[in-house]
Amino acid sequence: MRPGELRGCDVRAALRCAPRKRGQAPPTTIDILVLGPPGCPPWSGTVALVPKPSGRGAHVCPACPICERAREVLRVRRLYGRPVLGCGDCLKFRTRRQVERTTASWRRSGGEKEDRFLRLLRRPDKTPELLEQARRLLLELLREDRARFGALAPEVDAMIEVLEPTGAAHSPRFPFMPNQQLVGPPRRRRRPRAGD
Ligand SMILES: [Zn+2]
């Protein structure tokens, strides 16, 4: 269970553990307290349980308190200072993939791999295979970052050569030199007058 989320699998696990008399109908609501994400108070209240088609049958899912549709994940967000429980559509929650997948940084600068790496680390079942997968992904990210930096180095050197055509591209003062030029010479201090 992650703070700020109510997952259908956790609800089903809790229902399996709850004592029930023989022949008693399964509950249609659940009274629950969901911890908020950092900086958000917890949400408490009653959530309806509704059947959701799954394979050949159906399983029980919490219903979004706002749109009343069966949802596998509900989230707590702080709205106007109060915690609100709702589905991604109602709370306009978007994953990093949904926000960034059309950007160049996602496709060409390692954004997708970085997201995958962080998702792997957030998973509760950290098996040795999963950690090995994360390690390989991290090495791949570092290798690609170094290659991108290496490809940029001649362009950066050429730019500095234009700004300071004295072979200063390899000066130990880089990268502070361009800023020093922008700032200009230090101001003269006003000479103190009589009476100051
Ligand atoms: Zn909803």
Do 116 and 54 share a structural domain?
A: no
Q: Determine, yes or no, domain membership for 113.
A: yes
pLDDT score at 25: 78
* Average pLDDT over every residue of 88-113: 86
91 alpha carbon – ligand 1 mean position (Å): 7
Do 117 and 159 share a structural domain?
A: yes
- Other CB atoms within a 10 A radius of the CB of residue 52 amount to 16
Higher local confidence (pLDDT), 36 or 190: 36
Do 44 and 68 share a structural domain?
A: yes
Q: What are the phi and psi torsion angles at 32 (to 5°)?
A: -145, 155
75 alpha carbon – ligand 1 mean position (Å): 10
37 alpha carbon – ligand 1 mean position (Å): 18
Torsion of CA 146, 118, 92, 60, to 10 degrees: 150
What is the span of the domain harbouring residue 130? 98-163
73 alpha carbon – ligand 1 mean position (Å): 10
Predicted TM-score of the model (pTM) = 0.52
67 alpha carbon – ligand 1 mean position (Å): 4
92 alpha carbon – ligand 1 mean position (Å): 9
10 Å CB burial of residue 120 (0-12, 13-18, 19+) is: middle
Produce one character per residue of 64-99: b if its CB has 16 or more CB atoms within 10 Å, e if not: bbeeeebbebbbbbeeeeebbbbbeebbeeeeeeee
64 alpha carbon – ligand 1 mean position (Å): 5
50 alpha carbon – ligand 1 mean position (Å): 13
pLDDT score at 15: 85
pLDDT score at 182: 43
63 alpha carbon – ligand 1 mean position (Å): 8
Do 103 and 89 share a structural domain?
A: no
10 Å CB burial of residue 47 (0-12, 13-18, 19+) is: buried
pLDDT score at 184: 46
Per-residue pLDDT of 72-84, as tens digits, reads: 999 999 887 889 9
Do 40 and 14 share a structural domain?
A: yes
**By mean pLDDT, which of 20-34, 96-110, 179-193 is the weakest?**
179-193
Total domain count for the chain? 2
5 alpha carbon – ligand 1 mean position (Å): 14
Do 36 and 53 share a structural domain?
A: yes
94 alpha carbon – ligand 1 mean position (Å): 13
Per-residue pLDDT of 51-66, as tens digits, reads: 888 877 788 999 999 9
